[in-house]
Structure 1
Amino acid sequence: MSKRDWNGSSLEERRARRREQLLDAGVTLLAEAGAAGLTVRAVCRLSGLSERYFYESFSNRDLLVLAAFDRVAEEVSAALSEAVAQAPPTPEGVARAAVAAVLAATIDEPSRGRVLFLAPAGDLLLHPRVDTVGRALVAMLREQLPAARSTAHRELVANSLAGALAYTFSGYVAGSLRVSREEFSEHCVQLLLTLAALPEPVLEG
């Protein structure tokens, strides 16, 4: 039997499809039940695959947790980067495009929002990943700030923005911020514009 005799696909293609099925199940469980609910047995049941196929792709449950989180983080990051690249070249244009993109990626796709903003609170394993995502966001925000400002000022503002936005989005995804989508979106846009325009302090020598 050739490697393509099974439904016309190769062994590598079948393995890749099974891995995607497991990842789909992992994201769903991470979103719905948190990290504690993402077990090998639960993933196999949801994906319809046996444990044999689970261990074909992941040597343990933790690797699937990390892979599921990474997939969501990469999808949201890609949507944000594309929106910023295509936005009108003004501070307001970039801010509105960025906020709209993250809302679409994490609120219109609730599972992504829960994985990205809520799941890490339930599993220390994900904390280093959250730090990586945060540092990438800081770098992106820093690039949008006026180059005329000092490096220290841009670093401070970018970190402040990333922290404020992450906490605000977490509250909105969790439902503790009971405001309309329009109010939430406009608040985030104004937060970006206000902090980005924050004047650099004049330090007395």
Structure 2
Amino acid sequence: MEPMTQVRPYRGVEAAERVAQRRRALLEAGLDLLGGEDAPAELTVRGICGRAGVSVRYFYESFADKDEFVAAVFDWVVGDIAATTQAAVAAAPRDEQNRAGIANLVRVIAGDPRVGRLLFSSKLSNAVLVRKRGELGGLFAALSGQHVTNAYRVAENEWIKATTHFVVGGVAQAISAWLAGEIELGDDELVDQLAALLNQLADARLYRSE
């Protein structure tokens, strides 16, 4: 049996690291294009690679097609936000956790408007993004439901489901309108308002049928 061919480092960079660097460049390019103020009507592989500064052949090194690429950009962005938000919530006292979570989300969006547009802009009609947003909303509702069942020691029920879907949809719509300039509040003012609304849902009677 012949020994496996080893890929030599190029300019001191190992092959796996070069692949990771190219993938990161492509994801950044995807966020630029999808989250830009003037998102293209249609993504093209050539356009993505041109923005990333890599050859077209390297696109297929990491992604099977454009749909897989768009989904990967979305998941990459959401993964970063989820990690920082979870850390912020975990570090906050229980009665300040709603504000900590919302504050982190708004801080990230304010710091990088591309992220806000990717996740919440109503102008983006890419079919994959629409599907991913729907999946994300359902996931957040389920996670919120778990938090309610643990916090109030009640079994999962339809009242919890209704409330958590209401919360997720309401927050998303409010942020979308804020990004579009339809809500003229500063960052901290928006955080205060959303946190105050979420705190009103701390009444355990909302989650019981009795």
Give the TM-score normalised by the residue count of structure 2. 0.85
Structure 2 gaps of 5+ residues are: none
2:177 and 2:183 in contact (8 A); partners too = yes
Q: Tell me how far 1:149 sits from its aligned partner.
A: 4.4
CA distance in structure 1 between the partners assigned to 2:28 and 2:201 by the alignment: 37
Sort the Cα spacing of 1:22 and 1:8 in 2 relative to 1 into closer, same or farther, 3 A: same
Q: Which amino acid aligns with 2:17?
A: E
1:172 and 1:178 in contact (8 A); partners too = yes
Moved more, 103-112 or 137-146: 137-146
CA distance in structure 2 between the partners assigned to 1:148 and 1:154 by the alignment: 12
Q: Which amino acid aligns with 2:63?
A: F
2:11 maps to 7
Deviation per residue, 1:77-103 (Å, 9 max, x gap)? 11211111111122xx11111111111
Sort the Cα spacing of 1:113 and 1:202 in 2 relative to 1 into closer, same or farther, 3 A: closer
Residue 69 of structure 2: SS of its match in structure 1?
Answer: helix
2:199 maps to 193
CA distance in structure 2 between the partners assigned to 1:120 and 1:69 by the alignment: 16
Residue 105 (structure 1) aligned with residue 108 (structure 2): yes
Sort the Cα spacing of 1:23 and 1:201 in 2 relative to 1 into closer, same or farther, 3 A: closer
1:129 maps to 132
Q: Which amino acid aligns with 1:13?
A: E
Q: Tell me how far 1:72 sits from its aligned partner.
A: 0.9
Residue 166 (structure 1) aligned with residue 172 (structure 2): yes
2:107 and 2:187 in contact (8 A); partners too = no
CA distance in structure 2 between the partners assigned to 1:202 and 1:60 by the alignment: 47
Q: Tell me how far 1:4 sits from its aligned partner.
A: 3.2
Q: Tell me how far 1:126 sits from its aligned partner.
A: 2.0
CA RMSD of aligned residues (A): 2.3
The 5 A counterparts of 1:27-106 are: 27-32=31-36, 33-34=38-39, 36-90=41-95, 93-106=96-109
Residue 113 of structure 1: SS of its match in structure 2?
Answer: helix
Give the TM-score normalised by the residue count of structure 1. 0.87
Q: Between the two proteins, what is the percent identity of the paired residues?
A: 31
Q: Tell me how far 1:198 sits from its aligned partner.
A: 6.6
Q: Which amino acid aligns with 2:101?
A: A
Sort the Cα spacing of 1:13 and 1:203 in 2 relative to 1 into closer, same or farther, 3 A: closer
Q: Tell me how far 1:193 sits from its aligned partner.
A: 0.7
Q: Tell me how far 1:120 sits from its aligned partner.
A: 7.8
Residue 103 of structure 1: SS of its match in structure 2?
Answer: helix
Structure 1 gaps of 5+ residues are: none
Deviation per residue, 1:39-73 (Å, 9 max, x gap)? 21221111111111112222222221111111111
